[in-house]
Amino acid sequence: MKRSAQDIAAIIEQNRLSWNAVIEAHNSHKGNQGIWLKNGGHTLFPEELMLLGDLEGKSLLHLLCNCGQDTLSLARMGAEVTGVDISDEAIKVARELSQTSQIPAQFFRANVYEWLQQPPYGPFDVVFMSYGVLYWLPDLKSLFKNIRGILNPGGKVVFVDFHPVFWLFDDNWKLAYPYTSAGEDLLDEEGIGDYVGMSGEALVPWGFEEGIKDFNNPQHAHGFLWGMADIIGAMLEAGLQLEVFEEYPYSNGFNPRPDIMHVDADRRCWLPKDMPSIPLMFALRASLGRPIATGLGRP
């Protein structure tokens, strides 16, 4: 059934609480990442750098920026950056990282849907999203429509995320979830876990620390599963023109099964050799185009 606006607001608020609860655990493993950034380090992977291209002097909006390490890495590449995230604790860390690293950035704690409707800054040359963001978004059509509205002429939307096929499986690589939930939320009673601690050096190349052990989130969470037709269809309907679409048989940094997945020298996490190759990530780049007819796709 369709969720009411009040239900969606309650889901987003509950996810805020779940993210707030896990941020301390995540950052307990990251050491002094502010100094890493200050000394010229960055947290970006080749896939997003290739899609983004030259960022010198460009205005960039990073949606669902989490603790801001990627946002500040983008600023180091020459962009003028703004980060937005739902978590109070994440934005607090992001602002502290900006000060420690001496890399300037604007960070806002906000529901991205509300922020996009009345942004205090903009328009932007680039809107960027990456790694596990679409799972938290209840309405892709509204998202991309509002993103289109804040792009400069010639502006781009770039994102890299985990593939919908990845989300089909549980922790034991058994088929457990639908390919798409078509806007219906899935309850996660355990809440957002410590995936940084799980992934280790694959996510923290400057020096992983053991930090908080056996974290249990006291706040449950809700997610949304989107298929590729949902994602690309929402972009096209918003009037964004698809330029690049890539699929990758590995996961950058995120290792849900460190006991069986192989991590290579580039921090790419691969399935066991006895499993068939499947897409674990995808990447998209889109630009301003002409809106297509509305009412397409699923009702």
- Tens-place pLDDT, residues 164-188: 999 999 888 899 999 999 889 999 9
* Residues in a beta bridge with 25: none
**Partners of 244 in beta bridges:** 285
State the Cα–Cα distance between residues 257 and 248, nearest whole angstrom: 18
Residue 189 burial (CB < 10 Å; 0-12/13-18/19+)? exposed
Please tell me the pTM assigned to this model: 0.93
Q: Is residue 158 part of a domain?
A: yes
If one counts every other C-beta atom within 10 angstroms of the C-beta of residue 212, the result is: 16
Task: Over range 71-95, report the average pLDDT.
Answer: 97
**How confident is the prediction for the chain on average, in pLDDT?**
93
Q: What's the total number of domains in the chain?
A: 1
Other C-beta atoms closer than 10 Å to the C-beta of 136 total 19
Task: Name the percent of the chain lying above pLDDT 70.
Answer: 96
Query: Would you say residue 296 lies in a domain?
Result: no
> For residue range 45-56, what is the model confidence (pLDDT) as tens digits?
999 999 999 999
List the CATH number of the domain containing 29: 3.40.50.150
The whole domain housing 39 covers 5-288
